[in-house]
Amino acid sequence: MTTNHQILLASRPEGEPTAANFKLVEVPLPSLQDGQVLVRNHFLSLDPYMRGRMNDSKSYAAPQPLNEVMIGGTAGEVVESRNAAFKAGDKVVGMGGWQEYVVVNAEERGALRKVDTTHIPLSAYLGAVGMPGVTAWYGLVKIIDPKPGETVVVSAASGAVGGAVGQLAKARGCRAVGLAGGPEKCAAVVNELGFDACIDYKAHPDLKSLSKALKEACPNGIDGYFENVGGMILDAVMLRSNAFARVALCGMIAGYNGEPIPMTMPQLLLTNRMKLEGFIVSEHMEVWPEALKELGTLVATGKFKYRETVAQGLASAPEAFLGLLKGRNFGKQLVNLI
């Protein structure tokens, strides 16, 4: 336990990222100082926001520095501690990055959080009971604020965030309609996750076709929309939105490689008196305890279903991440580092 393997951002992508933008290195583990904790990362979370951080451009967060460990959420186990609040064997979550071990200054508030794995698997703290789950909860509860009987539509419904949105909407008495890529994903969104309907956007390549499919799946119109994609899907949803519909703008993966995302009929925002609000979940830490309590209870009692796509070994992280950006995963994309 003297060396650590890490993946660094070696270069910034021009357009679509490739495996060549990353570099695997081996470095010695430093000795612990007072207040520090050494964590063996068991799981690495891969998330779409990482694509934006790879660019050196204005955004809501600073760019990922070149030749430094890629940013990322991790779940693992304390193996050595020089901090009274943590002991060897504690299961913890934090932002350990793309590496096998991480030395954490546990004196920093929020740098490391202990978790209970008695009823909730460790990996779930990076998905259903972690940032993706809270993202879903905030966008749905605080922005869409659905009422029983309303229709909530979710893009990327088979992903970690989208799948959570639909289940939380169903728990609030709503009709939940998803959009996902391919018949297999759509069937699982309905049969496993409990959505009322799911539209295969790949089967509807133009706005007219997709709008018609939404009309059939949402006979009473759309009251709330959780946006992860942008582009034509947003256009189609706006065509079917009711007056005073609410849109929680979480992500726009259609433009992550720099593509423009024109809006066909922005006047519908006015015509329908729609509310569209973008949000970053890390800016709303005050709601995390409430959200995690509901999510944790649902997972622990088996009322919340989720899938994980797990790549094996740190070296597999770049290809797994590129696959995530192309929608090859189902549910939460993780890397098992053990």
Query: What CATH code is carried by the domain that includes residue 254?
Result: 3.40.50.720
325 shares a domain with 272:
no
For the chain, what is the mean pLDDT?
Answer: 96
Question: Is pLDDT at 150 greater than 80 in this prediction?
Answer: yes
218 shares a domain with 113:
no
Share of the chain above pLDDT 90, in %: 93
In a domain, 296, yes or no: no
15 shares a domain with 63:
yes
**Whole-number pLDDT of residue 58:** 76
In a domain, 247, yes or no: yes
275 shares a domain with 328:
no
Average pLDDT of span 1-12 = 94
In degrees, rounded to 5, the angle at the alpha carbon of residue 266 between the alpha carbons of residues 265 and 270 is: 115
30 shares a domain with 9:
yes
263 shares a domain with 139:
yes
Q: Comparing C-alpha atoms, which of 275, 285, 323 is closest to residue 51? A: 323
pTM over 0.85: yes
CA distance linking residue 306 with residue 291, whole number of Å? 16
Which token pair is 314? 């740190």
Which token pair is 251? 């992500």
Tens digits of residue pLDDT in 269-304 = 999 999 999 999 999 999 999 999 999 999 999 999
In a domain, 290, yes or no: no
In Å, what is the CA distance from 209 to each residue of 9, 154, 204, 226, 291? Answer: 40, 18, 5, 20, 36
In a domain, 298, yes or no: no
Contact partners, residue 194, CB within 8 Å, separation at least 6 = 166, 167, 170, 176, 305
In Å, what is the CA distance from 112 to each residue of 74, 108, 124, 125? Answer: 10, 8, 16, 13
CA distance linking residue 241 with residue 309, whole number of Å? 33
CA distance linking residue 154 with residue 247, whole number of Å? 10
Tens digits of residue pLDDT in 97-138 = 999 999 999 999 889 999 999 999 999 999 999 999 999 999
In a domain, 42, yes or no: yes
Tens digits of residue pLDDT in 225-263 = 999 999 999 999 999 999 999 999 999 988 878 888 999
In a domain, 320, yes or no: yes
In Å, what is the CA distance from 169 to each residue of 131, 149, 331? Answer: 18, 10, 17
CA distance linking residue 331 with residue 74, whole number of Å? 17
233 shares a domain with 135:
yes
The boundaries of the domain holding residue 96 are 3-127+307-336
Question: Is pLDDT at 202 greater than 90 in this prediction?
Answer: yes
In a domain, 299, yes or no: no
In a domain, 69, yes or no: yes
Q: How many domains does the chain have?
A: 2
